[in-house]
């Protein structure tokens, strides 16, 4: 396989609702920002991979087709990826593969999503309709009609984890993580909740949406777009030289999709108390990158924090803390300010924003930015998605001058 | 030809359908046009290889699983005909018992979107039926008042109950804790919804009132009367209670009172009811009522955390309406200056 690097990234501001732009306009904004960052032209891009999660959000089947011409890719190949919450991460995996295989030299991964065009005319608010729209993602024969939602699906995993590890995921720890992410979002000019102040006390006392998830400890709905430009080794070095920025190499990639039906053994079904998809994906990525001890060898993690308690479990699955003792993230000051590990410096999906098809591009944009600006060596980008955290993707990034 | 009678239930209820309309919304001085739209497709969708399972639920009140003759794995529901772990060996249908244990602690949905609003609160759990290797997605309910996160946990023994009217859907069945059933109910198969009594669950025991409780109760009564007057003067609050009629008996350690919701109004009376109440609200600490009216705690949240109990599960919807009142009254007061 050929070596693949990231040479540009751009995102739009994350907003709860973009009245001023459609997903066409958002896509153009992100692509323009990405190519400006790379100081290159779309004429030099060989192919594009689109990450768009849900047709209903865009009110369109084949929602990527009107984007192709308007982002300057006429007559070039374009492929859409849709993989639930992990759509963006899988789209980047596809972009990587296009290059590693030798098929193309420069590939754009563009993620975009609407959400709050959906509107519930009974309550005259957006949220119930957004929840309903995501609800069509469940198994439509055995689960959707039971009232499946994304929140209760992840709550199911977290509750099962708490069955096995009743001493972990203490409320004050999750609340403190919310506070830290809120503070970190202030360093992200594109963050949706940049101006909000959420203290641990506020998070602790916020109401339950679905037990054990509290309102201030879960991600928001966002609209926005993000683009990441991948390139083969020679191209990457040339683009980076021209842009005056280092190449951030993709040195490890892993992905895993679990079974969607619950059973006692993760090898044949979903073991509800674990997120094996995150475990398998991250450890495959570590193996590829030669990472033996992630806590010692990785400095920044941009993790798909759909819910704070899920963030904790995922950090356990990815080997930064032991499963069953993920409260160590706070209690041993691993991710507190000045701690060993920078976790979601963008504010994460909780405070930064979560435009589903492009959220992982948002995470990648942030991880790359931190690697370059703080002169760090190695980062990790993570995506999770589908019912019961079925999908997991992990990507190891390394900076070189 | 499609059925046109107006009283036939609709795939998409009539009231979900918004009018054709558009409007201009201004952002930063620029006008943007938005239009009411919908994305709808109708289906005559086959249940295909799952038909035997759903017909079993509907017509026989039985649950069928599927067993691999090679590895012996029993899958319920029978979500595949061939075993993916044995090179797609053809599996065989097996009848399953109507009892088992919870696979894990189930989530409880309190705030559902429009399609499932009428069910809240409901639990969406997974039951490993005796002899099964996979877990059956299923609604879980309690016969003992409102559903809370602390009733079901991993390993809780449960019994599957069949609805009296079934349509061949996953909602034809639900599970209740085995411990809530009498021995004859535990033994009956199929156990029907009409075999259960949800109407008069045993009430939690209230402790002795403290001086603080008594003071809080007096303050709560006073504030409720103010709230009642506030509702009369608040269009938002009247709208919150429009078309709704309930008589609620409120019990606390320091005393009781009666709330009467009557199509946009809220009446408060101290003491016990003289006519049958629709349901009971019970909170050991009357301070909860004060906290609710001073925006410190939502009644819905108090149910989730166990501070408030109500006798009838579906009356959570009434609690949701009550929760809105203090804020509605406050907003209209502010609007009036």
Predicted confidence (pLDDT) per residue in A167-217, tens digit: 999 999 999 999 999 999 999 999 999 999 999 999 999 989 999 999 999
A35/chain B closest Cα distance in angstroms: 28
Q: Which residue has the tokens 């009522």?
A: B289
Q: What is the mean pLDDT of residues A349-375?
A: 98
pLDDT at A215 (0 to 100):
93
pLDDT at B1 (0 to 100):
45
Q: Which residues of A fall within a CB distance of 8 Å from B18?
A: 121
Percent of chain B with pLDDT over 90: 87
pLDDT at B288 (0 to 100):
97
Residue B171 has pLDDT above 80, yes or no: yes
B320/chain A closest Cα distance in angstroms: 13
| Domain segments of chain B as ranges | 50-195, 211-336
Q: Which of A156, A207, A208 sits opposite B104 (nearest CB)?
A: A156
Asked if ipTM goes beyond 0.90, one says: yes
pLDDT at A200 (0 to 100):
97
In chain A, the domains with their CATH numbers are 4-117+221-237 (3.40.47.10)
Q: Which CATH superfamily is domain B211-336 in?
A: SCP2 sterol-binding domain (3.30.1050.10)
Closest residue of chain B to A18, computed from CA coordinates: B27
Cβ separation B108–A211 shorter than 8 A: yes
Q: Does A56 touch chain B (CB under 8 A)?
A: yes
DSSP A358: G
pLDDT at B5 (0 to 100):
62
Q: Which of B107, B135, B304 sits opposite A152 (nearest CB)?
A: B107
Interface residue of A142, A166, A258 to substitute, partner B, most B CBs within 10 Å:
A142
Percent of chain A with pLDDT over 90: 97
**Average pLDDT for chain B:** 94
Q: Which residues of B fall within a CB distance of 8 Å from A146?
A: 122, 124, 137-139, 170-171
Q: What is the mean pLDDT of residues B260-268?
A: 96
Closest residue of chain B to A208, computed from CA coordinates: B301
Residue A252 has pLDDT above 50, yes or no: yes
Q: What is the mean pLDDT of residues B321-334?
A: 94
Three-state SS across chain B?
A: CCCCCCCCCCCCCHHHCCCCCEEEEEECCEEEEEECCCCCCCCCCCCHHHHHHHHHHHHHCCEEEEECCCCCCEECCCCCCEECCCCCEECEEEEECCEEEECCCCCEECCCCHHHHHHCCEEEEEEEECCCCCCEEEEECCCCCCCCCCCCCCCCEEEEEECCCCCCCHHHEEEEEHHHCCHHHHHCCCEEHHHCCCCCCCCCCCCCCCHHHHHHHHHHHHHHHHHHHHHHCCHHHHHHCCCCEEEEEEEECCEEEEEEEECCCEEEEECCCCCCCCEEEEECCCHHHHHHHCCCCCHHHHHHHCCCEECCHHHHHHHHHHHHHHHHHHHHHHHHC
Q: Which residues of B fall within a CB distance of 8 Å from A208?
A: 110, 301, 304-305
pLDDT at B275 (0 to 100):
82
B139/chain A closest Cα distance in angstroms: 7
Q: Which residues of B fall within a CB distance of 8 Å from A149?
A: 109, 112-113
pLDDT in tens, A253-301: 999 999 999 999 999 999 999 999 999 999 999 999 999 999 999 999 9
pTM value? 0.95
Q: Which residues of B fall within a CB distance of 8 Å from A142?
A: 77, 79, 137, 170
Q: What is the mean pLDDT of residues A66-77?
A: 98
Residue B3 has pLDDT above 60, yes or no: no
The answer to whether the beta carbons of residues A43 and A51 sit under 8 Å apart is no
Interface residue of A17, A55, A159 to substitute, partner B, most B CBs within 10 Å:
A159
Percent of chain B with pLDDT over 70: 98
> For the purposes of burial, counting CB atoms within 10 Å of the CB of B2, is it exposed (0-12), middle (13-18) or buried (19 or more)?
exposed
Q: How does residue B267 score in pLDDT terms, banded at 50, 70 and 90?
A: very high
pLDDT in tens, A253-265: 999 999 999 999 9
Cβ separation A142–B79 shorter than 8 A: yes
pLDDT in tens, B229-253: 999 999 999 999 999 999 999 999 9
**Average pLDDT for chain A:** 97
pLDDT at B6 (0 to 100):
64
A147/chain B closest Cα distance in angstroms: 6
pLDDT in tens, B144-162: 999 999 899 999 999 999 9
The answer to whether the beta carbons of residues A302 and A367 sit under 8 Å apart is yes
pLDDT at A124 (0 to 100):
87
d(CA B223, CA B294): 9
Q: How many CB pairs under 8 A join A and B?
A: 128
Q: How does residue B10 score in pLDDT terms, banded at 50, 70 and 90?
A: confident
Q: Which residue has the tokens 């990234």?
A: A9
Which phi-psi region, left, alpha or beta, contains residue A4 (left: φ > 0; alpha: ψ -120 to 50)? beta
pLDDT in tens, B84-142: 999 999 999 999 999 999 999 999 998 888 888 888 899 999 999 999 999 999 999 99
- Higher-pLDDT residue of A162 and B200 is A162
Return phi, psi of residue A107, to 5°.
-135, 135
Beta strands of A241-377 (E only): which ranges?
247-257, 300-302, 342-343
């Amino acid at each position: 396989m050929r070596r693949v690097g990231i040479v540009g990234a751009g995102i739009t501001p994350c907003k709860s609702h973009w009245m001023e732009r459609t997903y066409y306009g958002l896509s153009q904004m992100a692509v323009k920002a990405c190519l400006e960052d790379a100081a290159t032209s779309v004429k030099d891009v060989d192919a594009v991979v689109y990450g768009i999660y849900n047709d209903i959000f865009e009110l369109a089947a084949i929602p990527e087709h009107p984007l192709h011409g308007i982002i300057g890719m006429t007559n070039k190949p374009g492929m859409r990826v849709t993989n639930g919450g992990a759509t963006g991460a899988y789209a980047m995996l596809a972009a990587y593969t296009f290059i590693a295989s030798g098929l193309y030299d420069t590939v754009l991964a563009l993620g975009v999503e609407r959400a709050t065009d959906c509107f519930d005319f009974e309550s005259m608010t957006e949220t119930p309709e957004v929840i309903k729209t995501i609800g069509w993602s469940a198994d439509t024969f055995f689960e959707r009609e039971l009232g499946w939602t994304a929140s209760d699906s992840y709550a199911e995993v977290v509750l099962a984890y708490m069955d096995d590890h009743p001493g972990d995921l203490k409320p004050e720890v999750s609340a403190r993580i919310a506070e830290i992410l809120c503070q970190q979002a202030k360093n992200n000019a594109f963050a949706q909740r940049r101006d909000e102040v959420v203290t641990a006390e506020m998070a602790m006392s916020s109401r339950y949406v679905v037990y054990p998830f509290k309102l201030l400890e879960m991600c928001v709905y966002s609209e926005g777009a993000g683009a990441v430009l991948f390139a083969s080794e020679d191209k990457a070095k040339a683009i980076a030289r021209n842009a005056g920025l280092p190449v951030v190499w993709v040195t490890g990639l892993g992905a895993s999709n679990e079974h969607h039906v619950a059973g006692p053994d993760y090898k044949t079904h979903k073991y509800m108390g674990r997120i094996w998809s995150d475990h398998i994906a991250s450890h495959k990525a570590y193996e590829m990158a030669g990472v033996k001890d992630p806590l010692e060898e990785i400095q920044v993690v941009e993790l798909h924090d759909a819910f704070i308690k899920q963030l904790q479990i995922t950090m356990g699955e990815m080997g930064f803390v032991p499963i069953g003792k993920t409260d160590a993230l706070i209690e041993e000051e691993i991710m507190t300010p000045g701690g060993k590990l920078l976790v979601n410096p963008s504010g994460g999906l909780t405070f930064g924003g979560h435009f589903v098809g492009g959220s992982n591009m948002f995470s990648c944009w942030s991880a790359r930015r931190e690697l370059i600006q703080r002169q760090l060596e190695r980062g990790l980008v993570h995506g999770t998605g589908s019912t019961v955290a079925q999908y997991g993707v992990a990507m190891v990034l390394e900076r070189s001058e | 030809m499609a059925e046109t009678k107006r009283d036939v239930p609709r795939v998409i209820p009539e009231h979900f359908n918004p009018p054709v309309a558009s409007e201009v919304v201004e952002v930063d001085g620029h006008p943007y046009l938005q239009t009411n739209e919908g994305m709808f497709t109708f289906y005559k969708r086959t249940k295909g290889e799952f038909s035997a399972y759903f017909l079993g639920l509907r017509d026989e009140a039985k649950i069928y699983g599927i067993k691999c003759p090679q590895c012996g794995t029993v899958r319920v529901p029978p979500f595949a005909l061939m075993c993916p772990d044995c090179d797609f060996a053809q599996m065989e249908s097996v009848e399953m018992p109507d009892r088992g244990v919870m696979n894990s602690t189930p989530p409880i949905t309190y705030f559902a979107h429009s399609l499932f609003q009428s069910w809240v609160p409901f639990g969406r759990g997974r039951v490993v039926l005796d002899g099964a290797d996979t877990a059956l997605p299923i609604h879980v309910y309690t016969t003992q008042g409102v559903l809370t996160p602390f009733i079901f946990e991993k390993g809780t023994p449960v019994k599957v109950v069949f609805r009296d009217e079934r349509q061949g859907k996953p909602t034809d069945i639900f599970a209740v804790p085995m411990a809530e059933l009498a021995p004859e109910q535990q033994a009956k198969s199929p156990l029907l919804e009409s075999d259960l009594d949800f109407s008069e669950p045993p009430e939690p025991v209230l402790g002795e009132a403290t001086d603080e409780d008594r003071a809080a109760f007096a303050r709560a009564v006073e504030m409720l009367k103010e709230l009642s007057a506030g509702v009369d003067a608040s269009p938002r609050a009247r709208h919150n209670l429009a078309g709704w009629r309930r008589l609620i008996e409120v019990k606390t350690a320091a005393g009781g009172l009666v709330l009467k919701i009557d199509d946009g109004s809220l009446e408060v009376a101290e003491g016990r009811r003289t006519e049958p109440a629709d349901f009971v609200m019970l909170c050991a600490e009357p301070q909860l009522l004060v906290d609710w009216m001073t925006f410190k705690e939502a009644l819905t949240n108090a149910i989730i955390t166990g501070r408030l109990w109500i006798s009838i599960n579906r009356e959570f919807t009434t609690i949701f309406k009550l929760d809105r009142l203090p804020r509605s009254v406050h907003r209209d007061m502010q609007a009036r200056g």
